[in-house]
């Protein structure tokens, strides 16, 4: 099985320092939906692994998160693609959970649920914590410069062998 794991905010949709708190605030980055469709057409299983501390902060609830993800699923489907599963961490950074990136819990859950080894699996993110979680499970870290990606690259300290692309669409061109 070909698998790819995507962060959500800053990779698929525009990010916000105030969090994406409603379906109306969820807006896809140009080319990202078509990139997901292209992955699907190349027989990739597309997973999303996303920190969603807005839940833990009380900024939105599970009903709202589900509505945001429903909008994302529908938008991807209209572009001809699909997201096979969404894994999320609802915790704030001060809670020492195993699922919040940069810890590898969500990625380990994906590996267990789909009975796959993540060695070399592309993990696409716009933050250092996305890349660090990828490295911890032997996956291939890919930084996109959309979202917070440009700041992440400028800050340095990227894991060895991190691939860098302008956005998800550019990364997908090299994968399919």
pLDDT tens, residue by residue, 25-74: 999 999 999 999 999 999 999 999 999 999 999 999 999 999 999 999 99
- As a whole number, mean pLDDT of residues 122-147 equals 98
pLDDT given at position 33:
98
The Cα angle at residue 83 between residues 120 and 165, in degrees rounded to 5: 50
- As a whole number, mean pLDDT of residues 141-169 equals 97
Copy the structure tokens of residue 147: 């979202």
pLDDT given at position 75:
98
State yes or no: is 167 an active-site residue. Answer: no
Among 9, 126, 130, 167, which one carries the catalytic annotation? 9
For residue 147, give the nearest of 161, 173, 129 by alpha carbon: 129
- Residues 23 and 70: beta-carbon distance below 8 Å: yes
Say which CATH number the domain at 46 has.
Answer: 3.40.50.1000
Residue numbers of the domain that contains 88: 2-175
How many other β-carbons are positioned within 10 Å of the β-carbon of residue 158?
17
Residue 125, pLDDT > 90, answer yes
CA dist 56 and 78 (Å) reads 31
Copy the structure tokens of residue 7: 């962060």
Q: Which residues pair with 165 in a beta bridge?
A: 144
Residue 168, pLDDT > 90, answer yes
Instruction: Quote the number of domains for the chain.
Output: 1
Model pLDDT for residues 81-98, shown as the tens digit of each residue: 999 999 999 999 999 899
Among 7, 15, 130, 167, which one carries the catalytic annotation? 7
- Residue 140 burial class via C-beta count within 10 angstroms: exposed 0-12, middle 13-18, buried 19 and up: buried
Residue 1, pLDDT > 90, answer no
State yes or no: is 7 an active-site residue. Answer: yes
pLDDT more than 70, % of the chain: 100
CA dist 128 and 137 (Å) reads 15
CA dist 147 and 161 (Å) reads 21
pLDDT band at 100 (very low <50, low <70, confident <90, very high): very high
pLDDT band at 120 (very low <50, low <70, confident <90, very high): very high
Residue 14, pLDDT > 90, answer yes
Q: Mark out the alpha helices in the chain (DSSP H runs).
A: 32-41, 53-56, 62-78, 105-114, 128-136, 149-155, 168-175
For residue 173, give the nearest of 60, 165, 47, 135 by alpha carbon: 165
- Residue 118 burial class via C-beta count within 10 angstroms: exposed 0-12, middle 13-18, buried 19 and up: buried
């Amino acid at each position: 099985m070909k698998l790819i794991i995507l962060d959500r905010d800053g990779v698929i949709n525009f990010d916000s320092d105030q969090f994406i708190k409603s379906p109306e605030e969820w807006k896809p980055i140009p080319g990202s939906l078509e990139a997901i469709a292209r992955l699907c057409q190349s027989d990739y299983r597309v997973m999303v692994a996303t920190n969603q501390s807005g839940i833990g902060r009380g900024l939105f609830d599970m009903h709202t998160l589900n509505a945001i993800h429903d909008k994302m699923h529908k938008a991807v489907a209209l572009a001809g693609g699909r997201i096979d599963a969404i894994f999320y961490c609802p915790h704030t950074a001060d809670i020492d959970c195993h699922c919040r990136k940069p810890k590898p819990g969500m990625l380990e859950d994906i590996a267990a649920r789909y009975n796959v080894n993540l060695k070399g699996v592309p993990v696409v993110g716009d933050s250092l914590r996305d890349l660090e979680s990828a490295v911890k499970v032997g996956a291939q870290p890919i930084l996109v410069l959309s979202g917070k990606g440009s700041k992440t690259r400028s800050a340095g300290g990227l894991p060895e062998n991190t691939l860098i692309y302008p956005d998800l669409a550019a990364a997908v061109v090299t994968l399919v």
